[in-house]
């Protein structure tokens, strides 16, 4: 079990560092796009490229966000429930999140189309879809890890 936890932590760390690199890339290209647009020479497809990078930034951040419990939550009602009800709701939420993540992975794998490209720049979609699969799979693994560690307690 310890090996599995360390492997999931390693995958999450890889996703985290990939997200850092993508965030740096995002800052660079958005700055470049703003500068070139302000001097009168906009780059064609800048919005499309920024959209691709934004999706990658989000999906590579999901597992690390789960690991650090940084997802947005509203505790207004949840805190008023008894501890056992809170534990049950957390269990159900984690279970549903894991199922959702693995269903997303499965649907992207089943619908993988290596011939489709973006409309403006002609960038193939499949590398982004592969990274989406990796990101959701890592998030699902992180949720399963938390689910089993919480269940052991």
Q: How far is CA 146 from CA 97, 139, 141, in A?
A: 11, 11, 9
Share of the chain above pLDDT 90, in %: 75
Query: Does 20 score more than 90 pLDDT?
Result: yes
Number of domains the chain is built from: 1
Residue 152's pLDDT band (boundaries 50, 70, 90)? confident
pLDDT of residue 103: 98
Q: How large is the average pLDDT for residues 30-45? A: 93
Q: Which long-range contacts does 48-55 make (Cβ < 8 Å, 24+ apart)?
A: 48/118, 48/119, 48/120, 48/121, 48/123, 49/121, 49/123, 50/26, 52/118, 52/123, 52/128, 53/22, 53/25, 53/26, 53/29, 54/26, 55/128, 55/132
> DSSP 3-state assignment of 4?
helix
Q: The pTM is what?
A: 0.89
Segments forming the whole domain that contains residue 31: 2-152
């Amino acid at each position: 079990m310890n090996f599995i936890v360390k492997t999931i932590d390693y995958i999450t760390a890889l996703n985290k560092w990939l997200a850092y690199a993508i965030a740096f890339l995002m800052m660079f290209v958005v700055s470049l796009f703003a500068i070139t647009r302000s001097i009168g020479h906009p780059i064609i497809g800048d919005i499309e490229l920024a959209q691709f990078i934004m999706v990658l930034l989000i999906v590579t951040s999901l597992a690390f966000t789960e690991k650090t419990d940084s997802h947005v939550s509203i505790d207004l009602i949840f805190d008023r429930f008894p501890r056992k009800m809170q534990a049950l709701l957390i269990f159900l939420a984690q279970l549903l999140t894991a199922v959702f993540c693995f269903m997303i992975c499965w649907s992207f794998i089943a619908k993988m189309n290596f011939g489709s490209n973006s409309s403006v720049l002609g960038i193939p979609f499949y590398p982004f879809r592969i990274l989406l699969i990796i990101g959701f799979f890592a998030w699902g693994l992180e949720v399963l890890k938390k689910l089993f560690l919480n269940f052991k307690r």
